[in-house]
Amino acid sequence: MAEYFDSTVALSAVFPASTNYADAAARIKAAGDDRFIINHGIAEVYRTLTGRLQIPPKQAAELVQRTMITLFRVVELERPDYLQVVKRMAHKSLSGPIICDALHAEGARRVKASKVHTYNLDHFRKIAPDLNVV
């Protein structure tokens, strides 16, 4: 069954210095080969590597290309998906960075994920009570 990973778990799985590396690696291994992330999630991982973690851009790009592509299949969200997510966010009066989690939730729904792996449990409970978030 498909399992979905947001960028918080994906980042921890590709960055061995992460405090969550062992947990993320175990989740990846347990999920088997049917692991997904949205296309935007790849950019989020790169942003965090080069931003908060201050990994040089070339090194971060190599890390993303070497690991993210082998670990995850990509769920492509399109303009109508983004617009639907924005509409849902406005309906719930939610704003700010939680929109990224809402996009991840949409990707999980798209692949009918049996589990959604995240370290942002509170955000996902607000935006995706219909999903099995772990």
**70-129 pLDDT per residue, tens:** 999 999 999 999 999 999 999 999 999 999 999 999 999 999 999 999 999 999 999 999
- pLDDT at site 74: 96
* Tally of CB atoms within 10 A around 89: 18
Q: What is the pLDDT of residues 74-91, one digit of tens each?
A: 999 999 999 999 999 999
Q: What is the pLDDT of residues 24-35, one digit of tens each?
A: 999 999 999 999
Which CATH number does 3-127 carry?
3.40.50.1010
Map out the domains of the chain as residue ranges.
3-127
Predicted structure pTM score: 0.94
Task: Evaluate whether 116 touches 53 at the Cβ level (below 8 Å).
Answer: no
